[in-house]
A and B are shown apart, each in its own frame.
Chain A
Amino acid sequence: MIKQDTLFIPGFPLQETMFVDPEPNPTSDPISDWLEDSASYIPSFLDDPFGSNTIIDDRWWLQPQDLDQEIFSTSVANSTNTPTTPSDLLVFSDQSKQLTTDSSKKRKAPSTAQVKKPVRRGHGKSTKDGCNSDNRSGRWAEQLLNPCASAISAGNVSRVRHLLVVLRELASPTGDANYRLAAYGLQALSHHLSATRARVAEVVLPASSFSTVKPKFFQQSLINFNDINPWFTIPNHIANNAILQVLSDHDRGSSGGLHILDIGVSHGVQWPTLLEALSRLPRGPPPLVRLTVVTPTPDNTQIPFANGPPGHNFISNILRLANDYKINLHINTVDSCPLQNLNTQIIKSSPEDILIVCAQFRLHNLNHNNPDNRTEFLKAMRRLEPKGVILNDNNADCSCNSCSTFETGFARRVDNLWSFLDSTSVAFKGRDMDERKMMEGEASKALMSMCSMNERKEKWAERMIGAGFAGDVFREDVMEGARALLRKYDNNWELRVDECVGLWWKGQPVSFCSLWKIDSKSS
């Protein structure tokens, strides 16, 4: 059994690693290189020194000026279990109306924070968010958007007009999540109405999204977002640890390497932590690590979070990092192959490698009806004979044309977007910033097009089994690490574990993480 410490980054890294010198020093600090200085940061959450023997991803994105305190606090403590002050264990509850005015002093116990115990799984439902016990009644945007969609379906022109006028009066791109949802929903409905059957619906892009910003801003914003909202952080964390888990389960041949097929939306943010962990493996990293990144095909610009800004290239940074970790990393990009057409040739896989497929938040875009690209894709994956498949995606009912009417589909997508906007509002403490606009604009793409079709995790499981996979289980330490990481975020988040791992926000499912292996009984 692999010991915890060897598999995961221990909780004391800073004394030994590159952060010895708090001054930004380009040559000795690859992580700081990765991170470029930004003045407008919302500083990351305080670490949770309690029980953190697992990867705590957000350490990697600490600002240089925060490092002083971090070093001081951990060097004083002999173990990671002693907080320096009670205020270290701050968890910020939903205080979206109370804005702290001084973001850079966040570590010094702002008055809005409350001291809370870490939330255990299952007790995550918070009643401290000021909403009614019936969460839905506070979601007024949907009480206008969904009836409008229904009226559109029913052809009730005057009712549609009425609701659009009201939405237009209320919608606002600033304001709380409801106002924003109203704004995005209004845009989506208007766009829907302006499309006629004769012509293909024009692609409508939100004002601010990944593709409208500069690469540097994009990277910093994404990193910062992951610091304050676990929407991607937790799935990335679980995926990385699952990769390590699968790797440890399989005997490495003498020349065998690790080959990761990256079908995701992390834009490189996911990999530094994994590289670091690989470098710490007791037997050292695999002799060869290959990363094949599959980007969306050029005509596919509407998948939320999938397309980075033009000119953004994380590959060179990752390669540099790997070099510092002395990992033999090769990165390959596949950018014009539809997912269902992937094969061993295109991804250049070799049978000696341990191939792991990491599919995050991309598969929901695959059609499953006429053509059934979803099944095609899974079969293609099966043919690759991977040692493990990590499937993380939205946990929502399908909103494609065959699974739902326009109004049901719209309502489902609005529901999903609500979770994103609400959790992001909480994460940004109600403050309006360009970073937030970018993330929300990107998320709103799900409303504008039929791209995000989604599927419940149970259905995905059925498909996987049908394609010749069998469910695998995340190890308990993977789960523990994820739980520990989640504690740093708002207590409205929870992890629910059954046959896979679900991430929930305010009692509603957001996404799921699942691990699969080849069913030995299948060919």
Chain B
Amino acid sequence: MAMVFNHLLDLDLSHYSTTTTESTTTGDDDHYCNLGDWSPVVDWDALSVHPQENFNGLLEFEPNEDDNDHHMNLDSPTTLMVEPPVSPFSDDVKGLRLVHLLMAAAEAMATDNKSYDLAAVILVRLKDLVSPNEGTNMERLAAHFTDALLSLLETSARGVVGGLHYKQNHHLHHPTDVLAAFQLLQDMSPYVKFGHFTANQAIIEAVVHERRVHIIDYDIMEGIQWASLMQALISQKDGAPPPYLRITALSRPGSGRKSISTVQETGRLLTSFAASINLPFSFHQCKLDSNETFKPSSVKLVRGEAIIINCMLHLPHFTHRPPTSISSFLAGARALNPKLVTVVEEEEQKVEGGFVGRFMDTLHHYSAVYDSLEAGFPMQGRARTLVERVFMGPRIVGSLARVYREEGEGGSWGAWLTAEPGFQPVNISFANHCQAKLLLGLFNDGYRVEESASNKLVLGWKSRQLLSASIWTCLETN
């Protein structure tokens, strides 16, 4: 069986150490990273907002449940304040303070009688404490969340809270920054490759005897996923000639500026790459209108080709697509009778507690992402800061805005597909699963991959699930 990941060995990761259990501290970069005894700054389980708002264990203190009246047996007021449980690092204490402040700010904005003044005061204080370019993970993360809340506050409270001169300055990045950040993201974490490799492996397995393969890609971005697929198609071991590959990429009006490259450029690159490896290939675009409704009839089909639907959603460097666009695409895709549908998306938990609960969950999510990057590359603080600034920051802003406006119930597209008639799950192969494990092994052992369903692999950092890849088919027989 052809293994896609043969080519992994070609990738040059030599300049990154794969064992990161030792870390040395420097002045500028973060020093807080002892993988062996990595204790989270925040106990996230405790912070998830349950209806009773149970924060037991958040601070090192025995809650005295017998005290129902207002006398609590505390020696002095200072024991109520945050004291670090084990670690002597004051960063822990500060991180915890930041979390409390963020939560209070979210609460102030979420209540029915919106306390904009309180939110503004808290956010001003937060801005004083943090910067997106310096400090610990928690501090930089808090800086992005603070900015996100400030922009929410400004739009919601316009005219009520005066004097919030907050400039949104993170949406327009220099193109070289974006490219650099993307490359760093790829090199420092498995987030990009996990989705690509899992999908590609499933595709390879599905088209093993096909002579014509037609991939319809929802969001091709820079197209790097297909470079590795093409290589894998060429290198199939049994000597059979590679199939004729067509890729149709959806393109949207006016999106060129934000993405790393335009769809046309991607097409050109892929075409020349295919030519260089002698893979028969053609590239097509399917232009969507401004409300992004997908019409299956606008895709040119060739008789006898195996249709693959590829749907990479909301990877860190992707733009957020509105749910209507995605559902229109998937529903329309069904009409094409695809042999395989691959969906890679951010894992979201279903969370109680309204805006505050989802806010805290989002904080947890990105905290895990930041920690995963740091764990792998504790010395590369500036590189991580760049990635955070270019990709994470805007994602956080957008994410929170959606949460605030209560768009979407946080359900996954995998669940949508399960419920939607016409889609059957396809098992993740053993090889695919192994490949994923191998990939993660190149990074840090904090990453986990698990099969959460027969057709779904989930990538997580420690206990937090981050990204999932699932595969489906619309054919009645596989």
- Given the known A-B contacts A158-B55, A166-B104, are A190 and B80 also in contact in the complex, defined by CB atoms under 8 Å? yes
Contact partners of B77 in chain A: CB under 8 A: 164, 190-191, 193-194
Contact partners of B71 in chain A: CB under 8 A: 193, 195-197
Cβ-neighbour of B55 out of A162, A166, A191, A197 (below 8 A):
A162
Is A162 in contact with B100, judged by CB distance below 8 angstroms?
A: yes
Is A164 in contact with B80, judged by CB distance below 8 angstroms?
A: yes
Contact partners of A157 in chain B: CB under 8 A: 55-56, 61, 63-64, 72
Is A143 in contact with B80, judged by CB distance below 8 angstroms?
A: no
Q: Does B74 contact A (CB under 8 A)?
A: yes
Is B70 in contact with A152, judged by CB distance below 8 angstroms?
A: yes
Is B70 in contact with A406, judged by CB distance below 8 angstroms?
A: yes
Is B121 in contact with A165, judged by CB distance below 8 angstroms?
A: no
What is the size, in residues, of chain B's interface with A at 8 Å between Cβ atoms? 41
Q: Does A155 contact B (CB under 8 A)?
A: yes
Is A165 in contact with B63, judged by CB distance below 8 angstroms?
A: no
Provide the bound-state CA to CA distance between A185 and B74, in Å.
18
Q: Which of A315-368 contact B (CB under 8 A)?
A: none
Q: Nearest CB to that of B62 among chain A residues?
A: A157
- Given the known A-B contacts A132-B160, A193-B72, are A159 and B53 also in contact in the complex, defined by CB atoms under 8 Å? yes
> Nearest Cβ distance between residue B363 and chain A, in whole angstroms?
14
Q: Does B82 contact A (CB under 8 A)?
A: yes
Q: Which of A130-145 contact B (CB under 8 A)?
A: 130, 132, 137-140, 143-144
What is the size, in residues, of chain A's interface with B at 8 Å between Cβ atoms? 35
Contact partners of B82 in chain A: CB under 8 A: 165
Q: Does A168 contact B (CB under 8 A)?
A: yes
Q: Does B69 contact A (CB under 8 A)?
A: yes
Is B64 in contact with A144, judged by CB distance below 8 angstroms?
A: no
Q: Does B97 contact A (CB under 8 A)?
A: yes
Q: Does B67 contact A (CB under 8 A)?
A: yes
Contact partners of B53 in chain A: CB under 8 A: 156, 158-159
Provide the bound-state CA to CA distance between A162 and B122, in Å.
14
Q: Nearest CB to that of B77 among chain A residues?
A: A190
Is A169 in contact with B97, judged by CB distance below 8 angstroms?
A: yes
Is A140 in contact with B121, judged by CB distance below 8 angstroms?
A: yes
Contact partners of A506 in chain B: CB under 8 A: none
Is A169 in contact with B101, judged by CB distance below 8 angstroms?
A: yes
> Nearest Cβ distance between residue A80 and chain B, in whole angstroms?
41
Provide the bound-state CA to CA distance between A196 and B66, in Å.
14
A169-207: contact bitstring with B at CB < 8 Å (1 yes, 0 no)?
110000000100000000000111111110000000000
Q: Does A161 contact B (CB under 8 A)?
A: yes
Provide the bound-state CA to CA distance between A400 and B361, in Å.
42
Provide the bound-state CA to CA distance between A269 and B224, in Å.
84
> Nearest Cβ distance between residue A205 and chain B, in whole angstroms?
15
Is A168 in contact with B81, judged by CB distance below 8 angstroms?
A: yes
Is B121 in contact with A137, judged by CB distance below 8 angstroms?
A: no
Q: Does A289 contact B (CB under 8 A)?
A: no
Q: Does B462 contact A (CB under 8 A)?
A: no
Q: Does A153 contact B (CB under 8 A)?
A: yes
> Nearest Cβ distance between residue A199 and chain B, in whole angstroms?
10
Is B56 in contact with A193, judged by CB distance below 8 angstroms?
A: no
Q: Does B125 contact A (CB under 8 A)?
A: yes
Q: Does B75 contact A (CB under 8 A)?
A: yes
Provide the bound-state CA to CA distance between A137 and B77, in Å.
28
Q: Nearest CB to that of A182 among chain B residues?
A: B121
Contact partners of B81 in chain A: CB under 8 A: 164-165, 168
> Nearest Cβ distance between residue A479 and chain B, in whole angstroms?
37
Is B74 in contact with A162, judged by CB distance below 8 angstroms?
A: no
> Nearest Cβ distance between residue A132 and chain B, in whole angstroms?
7
Contact partners of B116 in chain A: CB under 8 A: 137
> Nearest Cβ distance between residue A146 and chain B, in whole angstroms?
12
> Nearest Cβ distance between residue A464 and chain B, in whole angstroms?
34
Contact partners of B125 in chain A: CB under 8 A: 169-170
Is A193 in contact with B74, judged by CB distance below 8 angstroms?
A: yes
Provide the bound-state CA to CA distance between A153 and B67, in Å.
10
B19-60: contact bitstring with A at CB < 8 Å (1 yes, 0 no)?
000000000000000000000000000000000011110110
Q: Does B90 contact A (CB under 8 A)?
A: no
Q: Does B474 contact A (CB under 8 A)?
A: no
B98-134: contact bitstring with A at CB < 8 Å (1 yes, 0 no)?
0011011000100001011110011001000000000
Q: Does B76 contact A (CB under 8 A)?
A: yes
> Nearest Cβ distance between residue A293 and chain B, in whole angstroms?
37
Scoring B67, B70, B116, B125 by chain A CB atoms within 10 A of each residue's CB, the highest score goes to B70
Q: Which of B221-244 contact A (CB under 8 A)?
A: none
Q: Does B68 contact A (CB under 8 A)?
A: yes
> Nearest Cβ distance between residue A407 and chain B, in whole angstroms?
9
Contact partners of A130 in chain B: CB under 8 A: 162
Q: Does A265 contact B (CB under 8 A)?
A: no
Is B76 in contact with A194, judged by CB distance below 8 angstroms?
A: yes
Provide the bound-state CA to CA distance between A162 and B106, in Å.
13
- Given the known A-B contacts A164-B81, A190-B77, A193-B80, are A158 and B160 also in contact in the complex, defined by CB atoms under 8 Å? no
Contact partners of B104 in chain A: CB under 8 A: 144, 162-163, 166
Is A140 in contact with B69, judged by CB distance below 8 angstroms?
A: no
- Given the known A-B contacts A158-B55, A192-B70, A193-B74, are A165 and B97 also in contact in the complex, defined by CB atoms under 8 Å? yes
Q: Does A510 contact B (CB under 8 A)?
A: no
Provide the bound-state CA to CA distance between A163 and B59, in Å.
13
A-B interface, 4 closest residue pairs, ranked by CB to CB distance from nearest:
A158-B55, A190-B77, A140-B118, A165-B100
| B residues lining the A interface (CB < 8 Å) | 53-56, 58-59, 61, 63-65, 67-77, 80-82, 96-97, 100-101, 103-104, 108, 113, 115-118, 121-122, 125, 160, 162
List 27 A-B residue pairs with CB atoms under 8 Å apart, sorted by A's residue number. Answer: A130-B162, A137-B113, A138-B117, A139-B117, A140-B108, A140-B115, A140-B118, A143-B115, A153-B70, A155-B70, A157-B64, A158-B54, A158-B55, A158-B63, A159-B55, A161-B61, A162-B100, A163-B104, A164-B77, A165-B81, A165-B96, A168-B81, A169-B101, A169-B125, A191-B77, A194-B77, A195-B71
5 extra interchain contacts, Cβ-Cβ under 8 A, other than A168-B81, A169-B122? A138-B117, A155-B70, A157-B63, A166-B104, A196-B73
